[in-house]
Structure 1
Amino acid sequence: MTVLDLLRGADIEVDDSPRRLAEYSYDASNYRVPPSAVVFPRTADDVRTTVKACARTGVTIVSRGGGTSMAGNAIGTGVVLDFSRYMNKVISVDASEKSAVVQPGIVISELAAAVSAATDGQLTYAPDPSSKTRATVGGAIGNDACGNHSVRYGRTADHTIALDIVTADGHLLRATRSGIHAVDPSDSGSVDAAARIGAELAALVADNMADFRLELGLIPRQVSGFHLSNLLPENGFDVARALVGSEGTCAIVVAATVALVPVPKAALLLSLGYSDVVEAAQDVMTILEFSPAAIEGIDEKIVETMQARRGIDSVRGLPAGNAWLYVDLDGDDPAEVEEKAERLLARLKESGRLKDGRVVADPAERKSLWRVREDGAGLSTRLVGGGESWPGWEDSAVAPQNLAAYLADFRDLLAAHSLTGVMYGHFGAGCMHVRITFDQRTERGRGIMQAFLRDAAELVVRHGGSLSGEHGDGRARSELLPIMYSPSMLSAFARFKRIWDPAALLNPGSITDPAPMMKDLALEGVPSREWKTTFELHQVGTTTDLDPFVHATQACVGVGRCRSSSGGVMCPSYRATGDEKDSTRGRARVLQDMVRTSTTVADGWASEDVKASLDLCLSCKACSSDCPVGVDMATYKAEFLDHHYAGRIRPMAHYSLGWLPRWLKLTSRIAPLLNRALTPRTGRLAARLGGLTTERSLPRFASRKELRQQSAGSTLGGDVVLFVDSFTKGFRPEVIGAAVRVLADGGRTAECRSDMCCGLTWISTGQLATAKKQLARTAEMLDDGTDRPIVVTEPSCAAALKKDLPELVNTDAARRVAARIQSFAAAVIDQAAGGWTPSAKVPAEVTVQTHCHEYAVFGEATQRKALAAAGISAVDEATGCCGVAGNFGFEPEHFEISMKVAEQALAPAVRRAGDRPILTDGFSCHMQVRELTGDHSSAASTHLAHVLDPNPQWHAKAPPGAPNHATGPQAPSSSGPQAPTTTRRDT
């Protein structure tokens, strides 16, 4: 029997589909190794059953958490055990003992949150790697991860009390700080296994005691190799800590008892600017005298990329300089912490290296600074100045006192090989993360990379350092361990591995018997086939000799921010399902295998595997801004669907919703009759015929007469062009009247244009020829020789005109028009900057649903800034996809996921809203609020234009089903200008 037969016979969840294998062929390293199957265990017994099946059939096993390994130690040819999907619980928290018991798949930040909740914020789990929002405790144990505050708290090993492990022959044992024993004393086989392993480990120590003391544990971040010094008598025969950092090569962790630490009562962040990273490193030893909790560093390349990708405001709080240190000081007394900061700044100024330094008191500034540091691995991959950089020499470490000298020599080494390094890392612990401009696609580039890695290993060893200071050796560095360790130590490593895993089934190729570091590179051997696309994808990167679509898909390097459960918007479908398939990374990996024309994902544009991978992508565009490397899955999905359905019958929703602008031309002529005809019963029938879900009520259709009435304030040649999109024209025309009056309130006239289309519905359904034709016409009509702002009240349409227009219509006119596009919220910000304050009686507080497309294209704070400018507090901001996302939430097969997505942010905010207005500038968000509140009228939520409208009585007597803003905080007012009636343009 095969291993798959055995696993399926034991009711183990296992998947060997080509799509699944593609998703798990990669981690965050340079490597690609397709597995034979992926197993999703739910219990320790599932793990034991899997291990026994693999042992019986000789199949290797790789343990995997968040899949964020940069050394290639979370991929392999056999069975991959993904613990993140089900074995991700906190079993218990013991505040009195300052400990917790957890499953290996728990995400580190989720563990910290659970501990905080259980201890009233008094305790936390200390290891905090930058990937903590998606990296798991099991992965941290495998690599002996550290984090930003390792200066204070050390490595994962320092917080590991005990490990429940499954051995390579299926025994369940517990490794502790004083030995190893069976979890179940009645299991005689496991008792015997524990006794054997304990005795053999004791013999290993006895035979190698001098080597362990002379070669191991010499610097804070010596992570390379096995941590065998923990077995020495003076360290209490600590088997648990000896297994930490073994990269899943010796045993499989199924539970961990971890230590918790007190949360400081006061903390303060210093931001220090230097001319370069070497001068910054020279001040580290001085800073360490002040007992900081963290000393983190970044260089200017990361900052420049962050600002270019997310706007100048995305990095706030940096003083002058080209390299920066973040220094966290903490303690029990805020005054003492502040005094310490002042003394430290004075001391650093005396040294003469500090260019500028400041205390970062603003929480928003602190958040933005840490965001840059945490996204460093992704931001450094594709830099704004051009070029690509990759891991490979990712996290070498030296003693902190040697860091400056090491970095100076390291820069010389880069120059000698004509390479550039992007530097960031844990300066206080002597550990540097460096992304380097390796060319892995050509034979010459790979030769340079290999030569550099050997020279770099020799350099760090000369400085008394470690090849790895955090991420482990894996496929990236295990081959280089003979440069760092003596033959006798390497022999001891191999013996340690055999004690646990004599058949070499567990993650073979890492640390001992290493796989060649230049084998299985993901960028090697990708066919040079041309993938013709409608979107212009050249701006995704700077490589000109590679097909743009291939280059775009290869942007994903696997850092996994899309697997975060909080913060930002990306990726709503993953947050709903917890399945790698539904993450931006999972989709990107499947696309990467598609362009390889590989055996895992074949058939190119016709691939059903790729179609399945993209199915739950909501096209929210959040990944284009939240992803550190700017992966734009909405664009890739539209491109794929366009090719996939070429010459094929499409899903009915592509015709009903994809062609919505065409249908709305008809409905506007018969709207009164249509609205009367659409009873609940006939509405369900119409939805079913259109391929739509019957779980949602259809919106009320607007008539041409209503549009004319609401556009009455239009002024031909006005100061502003007010673009009337299809959604607003067809369903919410009252927004146009309100927008005109708000602009007039600021002294600006508006020319309403309802005779064009942004092409959004055709883009989202992958009908790009039609979209391109529509947008070309729109660009031609709007490119009027002026620089008048073009204001769009529907955020998704504004985003399409801002971003998709120049990528689909590669003309100067398209680029000029895109540069003039503003969302309505952005227009309000501009108006306020000119001194305007609303004359309307505005509510003091609102609940606001931030539209995904506005968030991604115009900036995450756009709505918040607009409200603040108008004197309104966004007391509850639902930053997360609403779940409808255009056609997605109206499709029957997606309704359930749509509602799960809504529960991530919008639904809880709606339940908390009470009497506060709920702002939904996006029509999709408005429709979801209707569903959540059960209020199927248009009054379920409101638009920013309505809130700021100085004359709400203009729409107080709206037709049945339209929003009535004559009550509540937007009562009619006689103040404000009456907009004049002039000519408008529409079709």
Structure 2
Amino acid sequence: MLDTRTQAEDLLRQLEDAGVSADASPRRRAEYAYDASNYRLEPLAVVFPRTVDDVVAAIAACRATGTPLIARGAGTSMAGNAVGPGLVVDFSRHMDRILGIDEGAGTVDVEPGVVLATLSREVERATGGRSTFAPDPSSKNRATVGGAIGNDACGNHSVRYGRTSDHVAEIDVVTSDGARLTATESGLRATDPSDAASAARAAELAESLAQLAGEHLGAFRLELGRIPRQVSGYHLQNLLPEKGFNVARALVGSEGTWAVVVGARMKLVPKPASALLVCLGYDDVVDAARDIPTILEFSPAAVEGTDEAIVETMRHRRGADSVLGLPAGRAWLFVDLDGDDPAEVRAQADRLLARLAGNGRLVDGQPVPDPTARASLWRVREDGAGLSSRLASGGESWPGWEDSAVAPERLADYLADLRVLLDEHGLTGVMYGHFGAGCMHIRITYDLRSDEGREAFRTFTRAAAELVVRHGGSLSGEHGDGRARSELLPLMYSPEVMAAFAQSRRIWDAAGILNPGSMTDPDPMDGNLALAGVPEREWRTSFDLRPLGAAAQTDPWTRAVQGCIGVGRCRADSGGVMCPSYRATRDEKDSTRGRSRVLQDMVRGARTVEDGWRSEEVREALDLCLACKACSTDCPAGVDMATYKSEFFDHYYRGRLRPLAHFSLGWLPRWLKLTGRVPWLVNAVLATPLGKVAAAAGGLTTKRALPRFAASGEWRREVADAGARLGGAASGAEASSAEDVVLFVDTFTRGFRPEVAGAAARVLADAGNAVECSADACCGLTWISTGQLGTARRLLSHAAEALDDGTDRPIVVVEPSCAAALRKDLPELVHTEQAKRVAARVRSFASHVAGQVAEGWQPAPAQPVPAQAVLQTHCHEYSVFGPGVQRTVLAAAGVSEIVDASGCCGVAGNFGFEKQHYEVSMQVAENALAPALRTAGQGAAVLTDGFSCARQVDQVDPGRVGLHLAQILDPGAARPQPAPTTGMTELPIKEAEEVQ
């Protein structure tokens, strides 16, 4: 491994002299030591090029120092072809522009870091929906064009549109000797015609490639390009005369070993006017595969499949309603039919269902016209890799043999034989994939932590490779060979073809510096495994980090932080809520995956992260985590970074001076007991210049207005008033223990929004509940978020005792973050049956009221509800109680138009009030909240159940009032108008935008 200090210093010096900035920090190297595969290789440094000149300089520095260079997009490779021991060049951060769309020519000019989903979206927007970019792998909302070219990626609709190589017109590359070339459908040329050196290199390279093809005509014709998904090896058949010497297509799938892609002209395809999903249920995947030939007769655009293990895991992790519209069965196919006439598409679906019923294997099938159900089903398939990695059963599965492919008509026989092979090796395979193209993504229950398990991995994988070759298939159908399968290529190809592969690589990269270890002269497939060599150590934690229902584990902390498998959904810019800080900064260190990788290096004691709980690298990686908890829901692998951050900070700050904000905000419930006695005095002082002094002294930003403090007994008066108005239904402390709902009035509501307590009590009573109010406890949220877990555990223990009244009455919590703490953190920090009993009863206000609506209750607000509402769902509400509940209630109340601000508001408890995080918090607001407020009419209601969300609304648009759902539904009071703040200067909108 090339990791000597001298080499690194030489490389960095060369890069600096060329004006290229490289990051060789231990934390950065830890982030980029992994991709989405089983492998870990620590790089020397990472470069984020802004221009092609930066790439040329980086290649020159690597050539001069003999350093490997690994080109990288989103780092979602499951085969290990985006990691290596040298310089990683990440194109996704800056070289991500769409340079031009030519609808007439049917092409789009892009840089390699453009995300596939972004490209499709922008093409459709520019062409009025007439055209699109077709390749759509499940990782399309973070995978890049450069990565798709590297792997020859396909996607869900490959039955119709084929592979990336089918959509390439030209590719701009830089070779390892510095030539800037363009590969075309008929040869090679210098990218710049005036570049004589590159022109000479293009001619030389083209001549060598043509000679190579001429020497191996028979072998290329017989062995290459035999089935739709034959991605393994180099695509040298495209150099044959009958293929027109298509160098562009030959270069696709070379996994960064021939040249570095710096641009491309990609082909567009027409977009069908109408599409319909047909979902089919079968007893097992083999039965499903046997119907593929029949389904292909109907010219589907997509035929995707999944098994019951993934569906069960989705429901286990995200709730029973997370999978809608699924027919009966234990394995399912998702078939997309399309056309210009919706009626004809529906008729085609009916004919398909009739034919399949006649085959006798179909258990159940139905069209899915509802867009919500359709999106839900596609998400099951698209999240397959992550969902299958951490199953509902508590087991783990891993890639390695996750990408084999056969001809579609042989898929059923291959799967039947593969299941026998799995049984013989005592393994279980979780199956999903592109059934219509014969490509299977199978994750397998290897034990990669033990020597015996790794030997089983090697033995089984070789046997599986021999099996797929017997079925005329390919080791890889989409992900490439990389470090996972390159060693096995001689099982698939003759010595002649293998020699031609090696020669083609030398023709392109004589220096041998581009992505070594893959394709030719590969590293062992069981070398550099990320789970190998992790020392056994018991990391003591306060949180119970075992998956729900899992048996006792040795070292749950290590297992938890190793939960991230690198699929990178946290890098997506749309869909879900995670990861707000990454969406703001576009820096890998601020993604859930980047933080996980640093934590994984922490538990393995790697050179990058050597200090364990005292690691400065981990602290830095966690610094911009907003603890929004969205990753615990949105991450297909269930990574819960908010919990990991809290646990780490608890250890890191032991014996160290904490940030001032950990006392000013972390101890907020204590301070509220004091301020509640003299709120008029506190508010008056904070309205003077002393307010800024006090904020600065507490480690808080002076750019954000502080809220007004309420008197300690004010919430009681509000609740008492609610009881008086509703005939005593909300009768406070004197309520009978037989009442059927406990309204928990949390610290934030008592200290800042007491009026919401009264509104909540009135709404619950109006819905027919007998209401008892409780406020004699604290959920410990502020101590949890700042990693002061000893205090948090004591407060939660007390809360469990106070709320465990021997009944199963719902405990309805006004503030979503406090509800989430009682529901999720309570049983994880307090390991008693009492804690579990109380947690099971906890509901957020919105989720409880949504249940009342579902049972037939009709809200009757005292004030007319605006037709339009901005919906800012609190992140903790979203992650713990599920999205959509507020939307249901608003619709029942008469709101007809919702402007969805789906995403974190940016305040996230203490985060947005801390001086060092203010700018990022405002950038996060620009992800969703600020644009939604600018879009909505001035008369729109703004729903902010979370106190933090309401404060951000005040900051972004001071003319708006963030309302709790209880205030919108309140049957007995007028809604509040904007209240005066404590006097701190608020940023005007213009200034807030400038802070992005």
Q: Secondary structure at the match of 1:730?
A: helix
Shift in Å at residue 909 of structure 1?
Answer: 1.1
1:916 to 897, 918, 940: 940
Match of 1:813 in 2: 834
Match of 1:659 in 2: 667
Q: Which runs of 5+ in 2 are unaligned?
A: 1-8, 724-729, 983-996
Check conservation: 1:162, 1:175, Cα contact below 8 A.
Answer: yes
Using the alignment, how far apart are the partners of 1:351 and 1:692 within structure 2? 68
1:916-935 C-alpha deviation (Å, 9 max, x unpaired): 11010000000000001124
1:28 to 30, 33, 36: 36
1:611-656 C-alpha deviation (Å, 9 max, x unpaired): 0000000000000000001000000000000000001110000000
Match of 1:354 in 2: 362
Shift in Å at residue 837 of structure 1?
Answer: 1.2
Using the alignment, how far apart are the partners of 1:10 and 1:659 within structure 2? 50
Confirm or deny that 1:117 pairs with 2:140.
no
Using the alignment, how far apart are the partners of 2:171 and 2:290 within structure 1? 39
Check conservation: 2:404, 2:441, Cα contact below 8 A.
Answer: yes
1:884 to 907, 910, 916: 907
Match of 1:295 in 2: 303
1:114-153 C-alpha deviation (Å, 9 max, x unpaired): 1111111111100000000011000000000000000000
Q: Are residues 959 and 352 of structure 1, via their aligned partners in 2, closer, same or farther at CA, if it must alter by over 3 Å?
A: closer
Identity of aligned residues (%): 64
Amino acid at match of 1:734: E
Confirm or deny that 1:454 pairs with 2:462.
yes
Using the alignment, how far apart are the partners of 2:312 and 2:891 within structure 1? 28
Check conservation: 1:775, 1:809, Cα contact below 8 A.
Answer: yes
Confirm or deny that 1:16 pairs with 2:24.
yes
Using the alignment, how far apart are the partners of 2:317 and 2:772 within structure 1? 32
Confirm or deny that 1:825 pairs with 2:852.
no
Confirm or deny that 1:928 pairs with 2:952.
yes
Q: Are residues 76 and 956 of structure 1, via their aligned partners in 2, closer, same or farther at CA, if it must alter by over 3 Å?
A: closer
1:868 to 870, 891, 895: 891
Using the alignment, how far apart are the partners of 1:206 and 1:680 within structure 2? 85
1:459-512 C-alpha deviation (Å, 9 max, x unpaired): 000000000000000000000000000000000000000000112100011110
Using the alignment, how far apart are the partners of 1:594 and 1:825 within structure 2? 39
1:280 to 279, 285, 288: 288
1:854 to 863, 877, 900: 877
Amino acid at match of 1:589: R
Check conservation: 2:386, 2:567, Cα contact below 8 A.
Answer: yes
Amino acid at match of 2:949: C
Shift in Å at residue 867 of structure 1?
Answer: 2.1
Q: Secondary structure at the match of 1:2?
A: helix
Using the alignment, how far apart are the partners of 2:893 and 2:388 within structure 1? 38
Using the alignment, how far apart are the partners of 1:684 and 1:848 within structure 2? 31
Using the alignment, how far apart are the partners of 2:638 and 2:897 within structure 1? 28
Match of 2:677 in 1: 669
Q: Secondary structure at the match of 2:306?
A: strand
Match of 1:483 in 2: 491
Confirm or deny that 1:344 pairs with 2:365.
no
Confirm or deny that 1:130 pairs with 2:138.
yes
Check conservation: 1:683, 1:697, Cα contact below 8 A.
Answer: no
Q: Secondary structure at the match of 2:963?
A: coil
Q: Secondary structure at the match of 1:173?
A: strand
Confirm or deny that 1:381 pairs with 2:381.
no
Check conservation: 2:860, 2:893, Cα contact below 8 A.
Answer: no
Match of 1:778 in 2: 799
Shift in Å at residue 744 of structure 1?
Answer: 1.2
Shift in Å at residue 677 of structure 1?
Answer: 2.0
Shift in Å at residue 570 of structure 1?
Answer: 0.5
Using the alignment, how far apart are the partners of 1:25 and 1:182 within structure 2? 34
Check conservation: 2:70, 2:514, Cα contact below 8 A.
Answer: yes
Q: Are residues 495 and 680 of structure 1, via their aligned partners in 2, closer, same or farther at CA, if it must alter by over 3 Å?
A: farther
Using the alignment, how far apart are the partners of 1:47 and 1:838 within structure 2? 61
Shift in Å at residue 958 of structure 1?
Answer: 11
Shift in Å at residue 721 of structure 1?
Answer: 1.0
Using the alignment, how far apart are the partners of 2:11 and 2:900 within structure 1? 49
Q: Secondary structure at the match of 1:566?
A: coil
1:795-825 C-alpha deviation (Å, 9 max, x unpaired): 0000000000000001111000000001001
What are the within-5 Å matches in structure 2 for residues 490-639 of structure 1?
490-539=498-547, 542=550, 544-639=552-647
Using the alignment, how far apart are the partners of 1:664 and 1:889 within structure 2? 19
2:857 to 836, 846, 851: 836
1:197-224 C-alpha deviation (Å, 9 max, x unpaired): 0110011011001100000000000000
Amino acid at match of 1:788: R
1:899 to 907, 911, 922: 922
Shift in Å at residue 387 of structure 1?
Answer: 1.1
1:277-321 C-alpha deviation (Å, 9 max, x unpaired): 000000000010010000000000000000010001110111000
Shift in Å at residue 957 of structure 1?
Answer: 10
Amino acid at match of 2:149: I
> How many matched pairs?
958
Shift in Å at residue 680 of structure 1?
Answer: 4.7
- Structure 1 length normalisation: TM-score? 0.96
Check conservation: 1:382, 1:541, Cα contact below 8 A.
Answer: no
Using the alignment, how far apart are the partners of 1:224 and 1:834 within structure 2? 55
Q: Are residues 730 and 333 of structure 1, via their aligned partners in 2, closer, same or farther at CA, if it must alter by over 3 Å?
A: same
1:35-66 C-alpha deviation (Å, 9 max, x unpaired): 01101110111000110111011101000000
Moved more, 97-106 or 719-728: 719-728
Match of 1:978 in 2: none
Match of 1:320 in 2: 328
Match of 2:991 in 1: none
Using the alignment, how far apart are the partners of 1:94 and 1:698 within structure 2? 51
Q: Secondary structure at the match of 1:629?
A: coil
1:553-612 C-alpha deviation (Å, 9 max, x unpaired): 000000000000111000000000110000000000000000011101110111111000
Q: Which runs of 5+ in 1 are unaligned?
A: 963-987
Amino acid at match of 1:923: F
Q: Secondary structure at the match of 2:272?
A: coil
Using the alignment, how far apart are the partners of 1:704 and 1:445 within structure 2? 60
2:186 to 178, 198, 202: 178
Shift in Å at residue 874 of structure 1?
Answer: 5.1
Q: Secondary structure at the match of 2:108?
A: strand
Amino acid at match of 1:943: H
Q: Secondary structure at the match of 2:638?
A: coil
Shift in Å at residue 672 of structure 1?
Answer: 1.2
Amino acid at match of 1:166: V
1:769 to 790, 813, 826: 790
Using the alignment, how far apart are the partners of 1:124 and 1:839 within structure 2? 46
Moved more, 676-685 or 644-653: 676-685
Shift in Å at residue 266 of structure 1?
Answer: 1.0
- Structure 2 length normalisation: TM-score? 0.95
Shift in Å at residue 336 of structure 1?
Answer: 1.5
1:177-199 C-alpha deviation (Å, 9 max, x unpaired): 00001112222211111111011
Moved more, 5-14 or 535-544: 535-544
Match of 2:337 in 1: 329
Report the RMSD for the aligned CA atoms in angstroms.
Answer: 1.3
1:201 to 205, 209, 224: 209
Shift in Å at residue 682 of structure 1?
Answer: 2.1
Check conservation: 2:142, 2:569, Cα contact below 8 A.
Answer: yes
Amino acid at match of 1:774: L
Q: Secondary structure at the match of 2:901?
A: strand
Q: Are residues 959 and 98 of structure 1, via their aligned partners in 2, closer, same or farther at CA, if it must alter by over 3 Å?
A: closer
Shift in Å at residue 425 of structure 1?
Answer: 0.3
Q: Secondary structure at the match of 1:407?
A: helix
